[in-house]
Structure 1
Amino acid sequence: MSKLKVIYGIHPLIEAIQSKITIRKLFFQIGWEQGANIYKKKLINLSKKNNIQIHSVSKKKFDQWKNKNHQGVFAILSPIKTYHIEDLLPIFYEKGKNPLLLILDRITDVRNFGSIIRTAVCAGVDSIIIPKKDMAMIGSDSIKTSSGALFKVPICKEKNIGKTIEYLIKSGLKIVSATEKSNKYWYDIDFSFPTALILGNEENGISRKYLELSYEKAKIPLIKGISSLNVSVACGIILYEIVRQRKNIIK
């Protein structure tokens, strides 16, 4: 735990959340919330309001700070700042961009996650959207596998990806899913419009409800009968078709 950025104590944590510092996980000592005073209740309510994951752990977890006033609570900070796409998309439009977004649906392998981020940065992706749960952790491993690219593209963490997709559609984006469940090849799709590309889970692919919201479905042919490509490889193939079509995306 010493290698991670950590905050402990009730008041410092309240201040951190109110200051919009990105907290990955919050840990309470087992039984901590019993008989909670006004400040404990405030911390619990702030955590829930900001969709921060809360975990109850044993007293041993706090032994490293036994000489500190940890008050039975600590939090691990995210190494990067995360955003909401509703705040970023208007800025992209105001700057005259033709937005290119990437939506990752439950990508759990940290190496795939890092590789996707690195490719996305190289291909000029404006932002990457990920779910708050069921997703590879943003940490030292993902930073390493992305070769530091994680710091070069805004990451949006969204509680409800379905509603986020609906917002993007209303905002003028074409939703394209990378899936073998299509008769249309990736190079036959027009990517000149504002686009959000969805990549799915390594085992189950893209959620059905997201496929149903998609305007287009992009298929990559598999000549020798392999069931699917590695998700980071598929990402690179489709993103660079977008780069080819949008010749002005990289200058």
Structure 2
Amino acid sequence: MSNKEVVFGIHGIKEALKNEDSQIESIWLSKNNKSKEYHGIIDLAKEQSIKVSFVPPQKFRKYAHLNHQECIAFVSPISYADLEEEVEKSLENSNTARFLLLDGVTDVRNLGGIIRTAEATGIGCVIIPINNSAPINNETVKTSSGAVYNLPIVRVNHLLDAVYYLQASGIKVFTASEKASKTIYETSVEKGPLALVMGDEGKGISKQVLKAADKSIKLPMLGKTGSLNVSVACGVILYELLRRNLED
């Protein structure tokens, strides 16, 4: 990361947290530092649901040229969008609006690749949780080929709440899970807005989200490999959904 993508020092981070437009994504504090000044940072970060990690002092060595006081805040290169605004805008513009939710995708390269495909297939916005998600950083930007600047990214406190909001807005929610009984090719997709939930190939989608979804689908696996990389699987499903839209 370049210096432009971090805020450092106790006072600097506090002031940034007071600015709603600062786009702070996460904060590192030294686990060996007992400074009382940390409490102000922690309280402000908690109010904004910003992740705070207590890390060993060695983590700060690469920032030795900065007067960081063992506290570094990482700033997102993008401005996050508002869920309600993006849903309303997408539904106004299309009766076949598509949304993509990512549950537990923690690899920045997978996240970047997925965003790139989502933008190419006409997804209205990508929705990620504040916790348990890869950050939007330089590597994400590079892997997405800059698609992060052309597609709204929404961050929410809880993905399940986003699912409920989408459903309340008349949007069907599909989950991609290897435990599904039918493949995408055996599943009918009704006309109208739709949201797809993808999970990391390790842990997969949370049980609560799986239970709340309208339908669950999977990809056929004819070989001995048990699963696909989440970015690859997401690309296959998104293009299948696009193909059906184009045929209608």
* Class of the TM-score when normalised by the shorter of the 2 chains: 0.7 to 0.9
Counterparts of 1:6-155 in structure 2, within 5 Å, are 6-10=6-10, 12-17=12-17, 18-28=19-29, 30-32=33-35, 34=36, 36=37, 43-56=41-54, 58=57, 61=60, 63-66=64-67, 73-96=71-94, 98-155=96-153
What is the match of residue 5 of structure 2? 5
Matched, 1:247 2:241: no
For each residue in 1:62-110, what CA deviation from the matched residue of structure 2 results, as whole angstroms up to 9, or x when unmatched? 74234xxx66644221111123312321222333453211111111222
Q: Aligned partners of 2:234, 2:134: CA distance in 1, in Å?
A: 16
- Cα separation, partners in 2 of 1:12 and 1:204, compared to 1, 3 Å: closer
8 Å contact kept, 2:86–2:124: no
Query: How many residue pairs align between the two structures?
Result: 241
Supply the AA of the counterpart residue of 2:188.
I
What is the match of residue 209 of structure 1? 208
Q: Aligned partners of 1:182, 1:119: CA distance in 2, in Å?
A: 23
Q: Aligned partners of 1:181, 1:71: CA distance in 2, in Å?
A: 48
Q: Measure how far apart 1:50 and its partner are.
A: 0.5
- Between the aligned residues of both structures, percent identity stands at 36
8 Å contact kept, 1:191–1:245: no
Q: Aligned partners of 1:155, 1:65: CA distance in 2, in Å?
A: 30
- The DSSP-based 3-state class of the residue aligned with 1:246 is helix
- Cα separation, partners in 2 of 1:60 and 1:184, compared to 1, 3 Å: closer
- The DSSP-based 3-state class of the residue aligned with 1:129 is strand
TM-score scaled by length of structure 1: 0.84
8 Å contact kept, 1:191–1:246: no
Q: Aligned partners of 2:210, 2:166: CA distance in 1, in Å?
A: 14
What is the match of residue 192 of structure 2? 193
Gaps of 5+ in 1: none
- Cα separation, partners in 2 of 1:160 and 1:59, compared to 1, 3 Å: same
Q: Measure how far apart 1:22 and its partner are.
A: 0.9
Q: Aligned partners of 1:6, 1:200: CA distance in 2, in Å?
A: 29
Q: Measure how far apart 1:197 and its partner are.
A: 0.3
What is the match of residue 223 of structure 1? 222
8 Å contact kept, 2:28–2:71: yes
